[in-house]
Every structure is written in C-alpha cells, then in structure tokens.
Amino acid sequence: MPVTLTVASKIRDYFMLTKFTLSFLVVYTCVISYLLVPTVTFNLLSILVLFVAGMCITGAANAINQSVEKDTDAVMRRTAKRPVASGRMSQREGLIFAYTLGTVGVLTVGFYFNWLAAGLSLFSLFLYSYIYTPLKKVNSIAVLVGAFPGALPCLIGWIAGTGMLNPFATLPGSSEGAVVTNAGGYVLFAIQFLWQFPHFWAIAWLAHKDYAKAGFKLLPGNTGPDRFSALQAIIYSVIMVPVGMLPYYYQVSGVLSFWILLFCNLWMVGVSVRLFIKMNANAARWVMFSAYFYLMVVFLSLLLDKI
C-alpha cells in the first residue's frame, strides 16, 4: 500500500474519531456565545483560537467515547466502521489521541482566555466521557446527564469572554439605566440544553433497533418508539418557546432574533406534535433535521442581531 494512501487513511480515521461534523456544530455555538458577550469585539485570532481549542476538546470527548464503546459500536450497523470498533485503530491509540487533543484544548483555553473557562471545559469533557457514556446502558436518564456537557460549550464560550461564573454579576460597561448581567451565558446554555431532547430522541427513534442491539436505553420509556417518547419531545419543545424569549429579555440580542427564535421554537413544537400524531420514521426524521437547522439558524440570528 502506498505511503500516501496509508497517511491519508490514518488522517481520515482521526477525523472520524472526532466526529468532525458534530464537533463543528457544537463549537459553532461556543464561538457565537463568545461573540455575543457585550464586551467582546470581533477579533479573528481569538475566534480561531477558540474554534481550534473547542474542536480539540469536543473531538477528544468523541474519541474517548468511541474508544470506550468499541465493543458496542462493533455490533451496530451505523457505527461498526468506526476506526476503533472496526479494528483499524487500537483502543490505546484512540485514547492517547483523545487525551492529547483534550490536553491541548483545555490548556489553550486556559492560557489564551481564562482558567475558569478551561476548568469548565475539563469538567464537560469528563462528564461526557466517563459519566454519560457508561450510563447509556443503564437508563434513559443518560440523555438528561448528557445534555449538560452537550450545552456547556455555550457557557464556556460566554465565560471565555467574561471571565465570570456568577450569573448575577454585572458586566463591565453597564450603566445604571442599562444593566447587563452575566446571565446571558446561562440563557444560551438553557436553549441548547432543551434543544437536545427532541433532537436526540428523534435520532434514538430512528436508530432504536441498532441501539437496542448494543444494549443502549435512550428513549424516555426505555421500551422503544412510543407516544410517551413523542410526548416528551413535545413537552421540551414547548418549554423552548418561553426560554427562547430570554435572550431579548437579558439584552443578549434584539427584536430580529426574538421573532426568529419564536418562529423556530413554534416550528419545533409543530414537528414534535406531528411525530406524536404520525408515530413513524418519517416524522422522526423531520424532528431530527429541523433540530439541526434550528441550532444553526437560532445562533446565527443572535449573532447577526448583535452586529
């Protein structure tokens, strides 16, 4: 086998190990959350540093997940071709790669931004890799636990810009008539936290047989696709409607994004209700793809409103 082909295959495997596309979506919200901090101005270097560090940390979490779950990945059709599961890469190599990525990412956030954001990044990495990952075989509460590290990138990005954890702290530059608090980061966290439930349950609905084969319990009822699972998706989508109004209330964004968020949240309610009525894979697919677009559109609208 030519050396160039071997190198290309290895690079491709490393990209697959980090789930590059999924990592990009997570880091996208992290960077935008950073830019939404009122005191942060556009700086290309800072954006690139946060993006690269975020990709390292998120990629590390995904790489640890794949390395730890190599045996269960091997029995599922959708994951059997992953590098560690297929045997193209050893578990040891996968973990060394993951720990290296994670270390580089956390240290970069700490030295360039602040150690509070770095500490939160490390906590998120640990929570996803070593609490959420093994819990998936125990109970569907794993989805709730996994939603915390899934939403923390928003808070990490915000704190990278403010250097403050206290949600009630007043941000620099606030005046008596226009007080802006640190709560904005927690609002962004809440939006992404709630978004994950209809999104992930739609995926679990579509891949239920594969997940069941591996012993994963990810749908709310622990039994499979049913009306209870669809009802849960509706409930979380409905909660997203008032939460989506909070960025405007806390002066994170303006009127434009307020209406865009309202439309997007009502759309998520609509597709979740459709799943409850139809109870089929096509309806679940609508929820899944709507959720993908939701995150991209919502955070982009928040950023454009600031600009």
Q: pLDDT value at position 173?
A: 63
Half-sphere exposure of 141 (CA within 13 A, CB side): 4
pLDDT at 244 over 80: yes
Mean pLDDT of all residues belonging to the chain: 89
Angstrom distance (rounded) from CA 103 to CA 107: 6
**Helices 281-306 + 20-35 axis angle, to 10:** 30
Backbone angles phi, psi at 178, to 5 degrees: -140, 80
Residue by residue, DSSP assigns 107-155 as HHHHHHT-HHHHHHHHHHHHHIIIIIHHHTTT-TTHHHHHHHHHHHHHH
85 and 117 co-located in one domain: yes
Q: Who contacts 197 (Cβ-Cβ below 8 Å, separation ≥6)?
A: 143, 147, 232, 233, 236
**Are 16 and 152 in the same domain?**
yes
Question: Do 98 and 175 fall within a single domain?
Answer: no
pLDDT tens digit sequence for 189-242: 999 999 999 998 888 888 877 777 777 777 776 667 788 888 989 999 999 999
Contact in structure between 205 and 232 (CB atoms under 8 Å) = no
How many CA atoms lie less than 13 Å away from 117 in the CB half-sphere? 30
267 vs 27: CA distance, rounded Å: 24
Higher pLDDT, 6 or 270: 270
- Quote the Cα angle for 83-89-95, to 5°: 95
Of residues 105 and 144, more confidence is placed in: 105
Q: How many angstroms separate the CA atoms of 101 and 89, rounded?
A: 16
pTM of the full predicted structure?
A: 0.91
Domain count across the chain: 2
Residue 5 has pLDDT above 50, yes or no: no
Report d(CA 286, CA 217) in Å as an integer.
22
pLDDT at residue number 235? 94
Mean pLDDT of 163-190: 80
Give the containing element (helix H, strand E) for 242.
helix 227-243
Residues 84 and 178 in one domain: no
pLDDT tens-digit map of 139-173: 778 888 889 999 999 999 999 999 999 888 888 76
- Given 110, 143, 165, the domain boundary residue is 165
Q: Tell me the helix, strand and coil percentages in the chain, rounded to 5.
A: 75, 0, 25
Among 113, 147, 165, residue at a domain's last position: 165
Do 228 and 302 belong together in one domain? yes
Q: Which residue has the higher pLDDT, 229 or 300?
A: 300
> In terms of Cα–Cα distance, which of 97, 102, 166, 91 is closest to 128?
102
What residue type is assigned to position 267 of the chain?
A: W
Residue 175 pLDDT? 47
Name 128's Cβ contacts closer than 8 Å, sequence gap at least 6. Answer: 61, 65, 146, 149, 150
- Specify whether 246 is located in the same domain as 306: yes
**Is there a single domain that holds both residue 29 and residue 161?**
yes
CATH number at residue 47: 1.10.357.140
Of the two residues 13 and 46, the one the predictor is more confident about is: 46
Q: Which domain-ending residue is among 112, 139, 165?
A: 165
Residue 284 CA to residue 224 CA, distance in Å, equals: 13
Strand partners, 178: 175
Single out the residue of 88, 206, 197 nearest to residue 143, CA to CA: 197
For residue 137, pLDDT over 90 is answered with: no
Residue-number span of the structural domain to which 190 is assigned = 171-307
Q: Tell me the pLDDT band of 179, cut-offs 50, 70 and 90.
A: low
Q: Are 146 and 203 in a shared domain? A: no
Do residues 58 and 203 share a domain? no
**59 with 104, same domain?**
yes
pLDDT recorded at residue 225: 79
Indicate if 97 and 158 belong to the same structural domain. yes
What the block records as the tokens of 129 is 């890799």
Confidence of residue 70 (pLDDT cuts 50, 70, 90): confident
What does the pLDDT look like over 19-66, one tens digit per residue? Answer: 888 899 999 999 999 999 988 988 999 999 999 999 999 999 999 999
Residue-level pLDDT at 186: 95
Same domain, 62 and 205: no
Task: Provide the pLDDT for residue 3.
Answer: 45
